[in-house]
A and B are shown apart, each in its own frame.
Chain A
Amino acid sequence: MTRRFQNSDLLEFEELVRRYQDRIYNLCRYMIREPQDAQDAAQDAFLKAFKGLGDFRPESSLYTWLYRIAVNTCLDHRKKSHRETSRSEPLTEDLPSDEPFPEQLYESGEIAESIQMALQKLPEKLRAAIVLKEIEGLSYEEIAEVLHTSAGTVKSRISRARERFRHLLKKNLG
């Protein structure tokens, strides 16, 4: 299949798009939030994938390669887009870690919305790491491959991302 991709076979590319479109679009929805922007980013990611088929290395897995393109496209898209209203804001003060988690979120029925809002305020690297882990269910090694970094860095980013995410949720809930 990979070899045929390198020959830029459009039939195989269509199969690739249909197979991964849900996962890539879902990733973009949590990375970018706005549906139209997420859709644009997902489309751009596939177009870049088509152009970059020749650069694909068979030793890496196809979906981590696609995820890498999608994550980078989302990050680029956010930089270019002026539609984004909320910006990443570093937390200057950490809350005590033994505060209880806000239970009312489970009753709100807007879990995805709350997650998306909090994610947009995370620094890019942390956001990408936690989305790949919690939303896409990738292992540390796979995330390291997607983000071009070490598994140790991924562990650290996910741990920090979870901590900041929890604080942001509390902040959003007032």
Chain B
Amino acid sequence: MISRHMDNELSPDEKKDLDSHIRSCASCKVELENGRAIHQMFASARRFPAPYGFATRVLANLEKKEGLRPRRLISIRPFFLRAAQVALALVVMTIGILSGNLILEERTNPVGQTAVQETFSLELFQAMPPDSIGGIYNTLMRPGHER
């Protein structure tokens, strides 16, 4: 009855009677506590998930032992999934390329072009700005400059 009590399998009346009995019976109280401890122990025990690739091995064994060819049939759904993934990737890439072209078009207008050139032109790059030590040295060494 204690075992059923732990599993919540007693009727309300049975439960009431047992609870009443346990209050006055030390032996049954210990038995219930022990039972609960075991229950708790099982509850906290590790659960083992199937090893990686288990399902694949089952299907491969099916093919080997039964002469069936599950791979061909079973790969249909993954094939569609993969095809959908590839299609989605292509759509994303196409959108990306088109968006890139639109941005480029915006930047190739006269105003944009100048901005791009100013940003990336090497001609504007100054290795030794006038206010740097190198720039001052260049200015001093320039022909015609008074020493």
Give the size category of A's interface with B: 35 or more
The segment out of B28-36, B82-90, B99-107, B122-130 that lies at the interface is: B28-36
Interface of A (DSSP majority class) = helix
Tell me if A75 counts as interface (CB < 8 A to partner B). Answer: no
User: Given A10-B68, A21-B54, A162-B38: A111 and B59 within 8 A (CB)?
Assistant: no
Give the complex CA separation of A39 and B4 in angstroms.
32
| B43 CB contacts on chain A under 8 angstroms | 134
B37 part of interface (Cβ distance < 8 Å) = yes
Q: How far is the CA of A43 from the CA of B43 in the complex (A)?
A: 26
Does any Cβ of B come within 8 Å of A91's Cβ? Answer: no
Interface flag for A94 (CB, 8 Å): no
Is A84 an interface residue when CB atoms closer than 8 A count as contact?
A: no
A residues neighboring B (CB under 8 Å): 10-11, 13-14, 17-18, 21-22, 24-26, 29, 35, 38-39, 42-43, 46-47, 50-51, 97-101, 105-106, 111-112, 114-115, 133-135, 140, 155, 158-159, 162, 165-166, 169
Query: Among B35, B46, B54, which residue has its beta carbon within 8 angstroms of that of A112?
Result: B46
26 contacts between A and B (CB under 8 A): A10-B68, A10-B73, A14-B59, A17-B54, A17-B55, A18-B55, A21-B54, A25-B50, A26-B48, A39-B51, A39-B54, A43-B57, A50-B66, A97-B30, A98-B30, A100-B30, A101-B38, A105-B41, A111-B41, A111-B45, A114-B41, A134-B42, A135-B42, A135-B45, A158-B7, A162-B38
Number of B residues whose C-beta is below 8 Å from A?
A: 41
Contact B58 A140 (CB under 8 A): no
Docked pose: A162 CA to B51 CA in angstroms: 29
Inter-chain contacts of A140 with B (CB < 8 A)? 7, 9
Partner of A155, one of B4, B26, B27, B70: B4
Contact of A133 (CB < 8 Å), options: B7, B34, B66, B68: B7
CA distance A105 to B34 in the complex (A): 13
The reply to whether the CB of B61 lies closer than 8 angstroms to some CB of chain A is yes
Is B62 at the interface (CB under 8 A from chain A)?
yes
Is B23 in the interface zone, CB < 8 Å from A? Answer: no
**Judging by beta carbons under 8 Å apart, are B34 and A97 in contact?**
yes
